[in-house]
Structure 1
Amino acid sequence: MFDAVEGRILTFGGQELYDGSFGTRNAYIITIKEPHKKVKVDVAGLNGSKSENNPGGMFYQRVFHTSVVLPDGSVFIAGGEIWGQPFNEADRDIQLTPEIYYPDRDIFVPLQRNNVVRVYHSLSILLPDATVLNGGGGLCGNCTVNHYDAQIFRPPYLYNKNGTEAIQPKTPVSSKVTVGKTLRIFADADIKNSSLVRLGTVSHTVNTDQRRVPLKHTCEDEEDGYRYCTAQIYPDPGVVLPGHYMLFVMNSAGVPSKAATIKVELDFPLSYFTEEEEEVEDKKDCDMDGKQVQGMVDMIFAAARKFWNPQQPTLVTQGQ
């Protein structure tokens, strides 16, 4: 879901059967904004017009691929294969060229070719510095397709037009907000856009927590290199699910900052009652404060070396 406010979901690839069939390059935008109305489905990747020579969709057929919603609303797609078979790494089937979907232009753009196969059981997840961790694959005992390595993909928005690395805006300062209330942000003076991206969880190429919430913010005058900005959070907990998000701000060149982790809360404590109206569970009994969650997030992102060192991993940077 690259735009939760508008209810826009990008879906692409896959195969007719779970395994043993060809992957597809088909792609669609599913819009679910209006309650109690039919879901709207449109072909994605038309780049302005549909024709016999331009049916839309990705550049490449894919199944068992991974994807990541980026802070600016674009979607990164990596790995996969043409013939859908778990642990299949036949040269004729693997897809090594990633691509990015840009919803504002409705176009898929192929990127620099990768050098490591990423298919069944691989993962991609957005990191707080606006890069993407792409790694793993395999997990079939002692077979040859177990990948104990990972790569860092740096999206094009982290580069200037001349190929040099862009300077990222300062990390915004914020901590928590209530659904429907005002989010207060201290950010760089040159801020054009901002968004919340929910912390992701990946398994079997599925990341059910992927959700980007674009924000509309206003800023006051600059003070000590920062501006005081506010953004109204969409007043629907079905759109802005409670939980922890990464807050990104982007400058006029589209370069995102490193993220601040913020907590989105509901406006009232949640309680569940039996027929006798006895309280069964209170939100506070299972809640975590901001420091606990930040510590957990830091541990997860720092743990890769501890977990992977016994398997002699490789971590490289993949350019645009």
Structure 2
Amino acid sequence: MQETMQFEMKLQTAKADLSLRREIWVLLVWLLLVQKGEAQQPFASPAQTSPSPGTATWALLHKNVGIASMHTAVTHTGQVLFLDRTDIGPSLISLANGLCRDNQRDMSSQHDCTSHSLMFNPIDNSVRPLLVITDTWCSSGQFLPNGTLMQTGGYNDGVQRVRWLTPCGSDGSCDWVESSTDLLQAGRWYASNQLLPDGRMFVLGGQYSPTYEFIPSNGLGIFTLPLLESKNYFNWYPFIHLLPDGTLYIFADRDSLILDYNTNTIVKTFPSIPGEPRNYPCAGSSVMFALENGGTSAPEVLVCGGASIMAPGNVTAQYPASQTCGRITVWDTNPGWSMQDMPIRRNMGDMVMLPNSQILIINGAQNGAQGWDNAASNPVLNPVIYDPDSWSFQVQPASTIPRVYHSTANLLPDGRVLVAGSNCHIHYTFVGEFPTELRVEAFQPAYMDPIHDSIKPLFVSNPITISYGAPFDVQVSIPGPVQGMVGLTLTSSPFTTHSYSQGQRQVKLAISPPMQLSSNVYSISTKGPLNANVAPPSWYMLHALHQQIPSYGVWVQVQ
């Protein structure tokens, strides 16, 4: 005990000494600037203007949820939807109340009393099994304006299916609903979805389907997209980003275009991104950076990672994965790719938009490509965080669990990132280098370090619904003195699968300076996103940020 106290005293002395040195250094810098005529007022110390970096950590949430989540989505009721394929044979969690799944077209188990989908509660880490009938292998999805998840396609008997799940709370009994009459017009396996401003679903691509369609179709048929026709193999799970003018940015392999889906015309094409193919089975990922000032900024797209064109099907070679990211401002007159190297080469990485608008790149492997068994090797255990403003990467602490093929990562309202899945095998296999992974963990970015508690905002009041362009106020409490502005971001909840989060987007709201209401409560005036092109009607996570430290998010419905 005495040795511990002595150590703590030495530690505090060292911290105080470091703080003093920092203050002296800041003062010397300021004096130098004054002498040069470049400073009009004293420097604020770094400890005052920005928080200490803190430490990112990992936490194991569940040792065995029973399924490997190939598809993951966070619902506005607080539950997380896990979904695997159905034709893998029995999982490790039984359906409740004696339910069984009987499907004569299933390729593995026509009578199966285990679950292949479940609801996970990130508050108490409990699970509730769900019943899904048709095969959801490599399917697609996204949330509708009312918060219902629309899930489309798959394999075998699921290739044209449309499924719905209307979320409920932890004490509810919501489950999958499948229709035998509402079907996709084309079979879609490895497709991508995008919610449109009018609430329709845009469904694009898939193996052997270089086309797109709408749900509901309203009498419209299917439309061919030449970009997908020309790619043949490296166009599965194409990247789609809804732009603030209502058109769609679509990326496949190494090429991209802007599609006006209302007139079914290609508005613009872009130069090929340098480097490797970026879509399945080479598995890069993509995000559109946060739209600024309520959605008035020019959209910029980031594409990172991928695999050698020779990697798929060439297991022996284990070609190195891509180490590059490219970003492009799609409304530039002559747009081009600005390329950067990541600290770690990576394929099968998931990209997650954090509440502070930085990008987490997590999961994946450094060699090979997507595929069964030994298609990839050398797992990437360290996430990295990319700061779009400074164009910089920061390597994060490593997980102990490899997350390769069929793994997912999703933002939770509290700021954690839920990490699940990883299965390189046709059936559940618990031997070998990459066994089927049933553990669920959370990556906790440095902004969650308790060192930031004195500046972390907390919502005191907030709206439940937000209307486009309409003003509203929020109130936040901040324990310590407020420095600078208090930001507000809206972040969607995407459908994450195969290294791409379908429907992921973020909007930074225009804000007023905080108005102090009491000793530590402040009011911030803002207004909703510009229109439905900027933020399609749906449920979003609203976060307040103070010195880039986010609050616990609250769910709001934008309409």
TM-score (norm 2): 0.41
Distance 1:250 1:165 in 2: 12
Distance 1:33 1:248 in 2: 28
Shift in CA distance, 89/224, structure 1 to aligned 2, threshold 3 Å: farther
Query: What amino acid sits opposite 1:179 in the alignment?
Result: Y
Distance 1:257 1:122 in 2: 27
Instruction: Give the match for residue 238 of structure 1.
Output: 533
Distance 1:33 1:263 in 2: 29
Distance 2:471 2:334 in 1: 32
CA contact (8 A) 2:369 2:375 kept: no
Instruction: Give the match for residue 15 of structure 1.
Output: 307
Secondary structure of the 1:195 match is strand
- 1:88 CA drift (Å): 4.7
Aligned with 2:325 (options 20, 23, 27): 27
Matched, 1:175 2:460: no
Instruction: Give the match for residue 74 of structure 1.
Output: 358
- 1:58 CA drift (Å): 0.9
- Tell me which structure has the larger Cα radius of gyration: 2
Aligned with 2:368 (options 83, 88, 93): 83
Deviations 1:92-126 (A, max 9, x none): 52111111101121011111122100011101000
Deviations 1:209-237 (A, max 9, x none): 21111122113332474322221334232
CA contact (8 A) 2:305 2:322 kept: yes
* Greater relative contact order (CA < 8 Å, ≥ 6 in sequence): 1
Query: What amino acid sits opposite 2:444 in the alignment?
Result: R
Secondary structure of the 1:93 match is strand
Matched, 1:148 2:148: no
Query: What amino acid sits opposite 1:10 in the alignment?
Result: L
Distance 1:97 1:88 in 2: 22
Shift in CA distance, 129/202, structure 1 to aligned 2, threshold 3 Å: same
Deviations 1:62-96 (A, max 9, x none): 11121200011111111211211424568952111
Deviations 1:182-205 (A, max 9, x none): 232122254622211111221122
CA contact (8 A) 1:58 1:108 kept: yes
Distance 1:146 1:118 in 2: 10
Secondary structure of the 1:135 match is strand
CA contact (8 A) 2:486 2:524 kept: no
Instruction: Give the match for residue 510 of structure 2.
Output: 216
The aligned length equals: 247
Instruction: Give the match for residue 113 of structure 1.
Output: 398
Distance 1:113 1:30 in 2: 30
Unaligned runs of 5+ in 2: 1-287, 314-318
- 1:9 CA drift (Å): 2.2
CA contact (8 A) 1:140 1:146 kept: no
Deviations 1:23-52 (A, max 9, x none): 201101222356xx5545322xxxxxxxxx
CA contact (8 A) 1:89 1:117 kept: no
Instruction: Give the match for residue 496 of structure 2.
Output: 202
CA contact (8 A) 1:179 1:242 kept: no
CA contact (8 A) 1:97 1:112 kept: yes
Aligned with 2:413 (options 128, 131, 140): 128
Distance 1:113 1:87 in 2: 24
Matched, 1:263 2:557: yes
Secondary structure of the 1:207 match is strand
Unaligned runs of 5+ in 1: 44-55, 266-320
TM-align CA RMSD: 2.4
TM-score (norm 1): 0.70
CA contact (8 A) 2:487 2:544 kept: yes
CA contact (8 A) 1:57 1:108 kept: no
Distance 1:187 1:38 in 2: 43
Deviations 1:272-306 (A, max 9, x none): xxxxxxxxxxxxxxxxxxxxxxxxxxxxxxxxxxx
Query: What amino acid sits opposite 2:323 in the alignment?
Result: R
Secondary structure of the 2:476 match is strand
Query: What amino acid sits opposite 2:337 in the alignment?
Result: V
Sequence identity percentage: 22
Query: Comparing 197-206 with 137-146, which one deviates more in the overlay?
Result: 137-146
